[in-house]
Structure 1
């Protein structure tokens, strides 16, 4: 099958990052990381840092995410932290910048086994195993940011949760109560039919225009695959063309989209439109991750959200949520060869996850990653419900597979009739194999 431009870009990013391991800058950084600032020493989070300047790379859509902690750190220490937004696509442009020899001091980066390797942590990053905040993280958060038993990322926000947002008024009109919430994906589809039989609302709002949310309806159906299957996939012993994967894609195509359970115009619909449709009640349900929650909180008060919107977890055969690492969950510190800046970067992380953490999450009204630090007051009930489900959640494939293929791109082609469900699975398998091979993964 013809390789897509996106797959090629991912492969090139991996190859560029690999090649950077042999250039002088990368070797110098690795040496610097080993000799100073690599962790293990005592850290005073508020020690003076007058005259020290740090750079912090972020994606364009998260350029303000760390503003509170940066301002507090600068005030407490006298340091200067400059934020630089890397143009989209972030996951492709960062490895290219690193390959050219550029290094920030700190950077937001997805702390998953599928994305962390793209910046070659063993060569480029400071190990963070012995930092003072590590043992304070919750169990799911402690599982993130680790490659080959070494921690390379601080976990500063809770992973996104995947579940079903619903309009309470539409459910009430359809006579749906919490006792009717589905306990399987099949029951979720049945709930969509019930909504459409009893109301004028569409069962689901699907986002074909922005594409990336298309994957979630398939992802929740893969939760019965055992850990051994994912381990086999990562050794090239299992395939994305497994019947379980193909069947999940077929069910989405035939029994949701083909059955008319999505709104009209779903092929060109947007993420922003999804939030608007759920809020106004023209669609009853939206299956999405916590970025949808953030969209709601940016537009409506907690009281308004609590009155109109609810949330419940769902997996293929049980009422269980899925967690999805994202770019703002993890912060990495680079081995720059400058010991003063490396130690200052470690101090910044210790400040963030130490004396400032309660203020940080309160400013953003987001869940805590530290069990001993309570969630801030004023969070919507939908957010609270997601926090309660995190400890028992399944991981999405970005958290289980060594490469996170762009399934949504192939699904977007499928909804226009340009690919069959089987061809979507083949696309994913080809991209997975290509990128894993470019990264030098064992078995590929």
Structure 2
């Protein structure tokens, strides 16, 4: 999920670029083992120590695979949690000259560039696990035609979580699920008019979930538009974008389809409200489901919560890359450790993969490896929707601006929809220019 892209990123980009330019070994990221070379995932690595950076909330995510890898190879993998905000502090540490061997990082074209992949990362084209990935997963982790990230988990799916009891009270059956965003709003009015629940729960207090209502409305923009945006020929001030923001302001919030405290609502509060039937729907990504799974059993979730996909003009889902999806390997100058990092990724996505997803209770990114039994129906519905899903703008734009911060200004009356769009465009252009994006 995309939480923060602060102005400090501009400083980090500049610092990283300067560091890379002064590095005489900077090149295509292919030093160490030849990219695509076959490695033995369980070859002995006694005495080799690798360091892996993670966010504070994902420090335990690789624990199963690390334990298995250490036992199989004799290597040691030390995880280091980087303080929040992760996306801000990682570039700062890299700019200071500190480097791990491996790191969780969002494998999108909007976020991979912040760690200067050409200078800092090993290329992973042709690794034995690449062809095993699903089509959507294989599209991630690539910048300028080169692969820099291994995809270890499926990207988050954006869709509508709904309370089944609330829908029953409102007389909403599956055949009435919305086939586009306009119908979703109409469904919201049905919930509001026929039940005591709020139609939607919006998290203005945490801000970042507010972007999703806008995102869903941008799915009709084609590849050419996004290519134009990324080359400074199209703008976030396009009437289509302003209309999406205006629709959110007037037809959802202004129409009373959100809970009364939407300005201060929280992400954790959204899960509790949906579970308790205080809200009929929550539009959010897979991390919302993670909250539910942490508190409730699969059987309990299946009885109470459902999920369906929706886009602006159809019932297609949306996928959203986040930092738990991708793992990158750094060019440290130590060939033995670089080879070991490649071996670790081959082990993760090869020898150990079925055990890893079973331990994590998550869907498989490899069609040839079945997802584990016991996943909630919401998870299975998301897995089914993934192959045809649209990417959120983090997967399409070269910079993912902080739309949620400007939307927060809007709900407090500090910005109009047009001013929100202009603020998004200003930040987008500023960061794109700092990154050296052609056209800016």
Match of 1:330?
326
Q: Aligned to 2:397, which of 380, 398, 401?
A: 401
1:151 and 2:140 are equivalent in the alignment: no
1:442 and 2:428 are equivalent in the alignment: no
CA deviations on 1:175-212 (whole Å, 9 max, x unpaired) are 10001100111110111110111110000000001110
SS for the counterpart of 1:49 is: coil
Q: Aligned to 2:338, which of 329, 335, 342?
A: 342
TM-score by length of 1: 0.97
SS for the counterpart of 1:253 is: helix
Match of 1:97?
93
8 Å contact kept, 1:322–1:395: yes
Q: Aligned to 1:418, which of 389, 414, 419?
A: 414
Cα offset for 1:37?
2.4
Match of 2:10?
11
Alignment of 1:267-278 (within 5 A): 267-278=263-274
- Measured at CA, do residues 311 and 6 of structure 1 come closer, stay the same or move farther in structure 2, by a change above 3 Å? closer
Cα offset for 1:45?
0.3
CA deviations on 1:20-47 (whole Å, 9 max, x unpaired) are 21234xx44x369544224222200011
**Structure 2 residues without counterparts, runs of 5 or longer:** none
Match of 2:375?
379
SS for the counterpart of 1:267 is: coil
- Counterpart Cα distance in 2 of 1:35 and 1:285: 49
Match of 1:124?
120
- Counterpart Cα distance in 1 of 2:370 and 2:5: 41
Alignment of 1:69-88 (within 5 A): 69-88=65-84
Greater Cα offset, 173-182 or 31-40:
31-40
8 Å contact kept, 1:33–1:335: yes
- Counterpart Cα distance in 2 of 1:36 and 1:390: 35
Match of 1:294?
290
Alignment RMSD: 1.2
SS for the counterpart of 2:21 is: coil
- Counterpart Cα distance in 2 of 1:23 and 1:83: 29
- Counterpart Cα distance in 2 of 1:52 and 1:179: 57
8 Å contact kept, 1:154–1:349: yes
Match of 2:349?
353
- Counterpart Cα distance in 1 of 2:267 and 2:54: 21
**Structure 1 residues without counterparts, runs of 5 or longer:** none
Q: Aligned to 1:177, which of 150, 154, 173?
A: 173
1:199 and 2:195 are equivalent in the alignment: yes
- Counterpart Cα distance in 2 of 1:322 and 1:53: 39
1:22 and 2:21 are equivalent in the alignment: yes
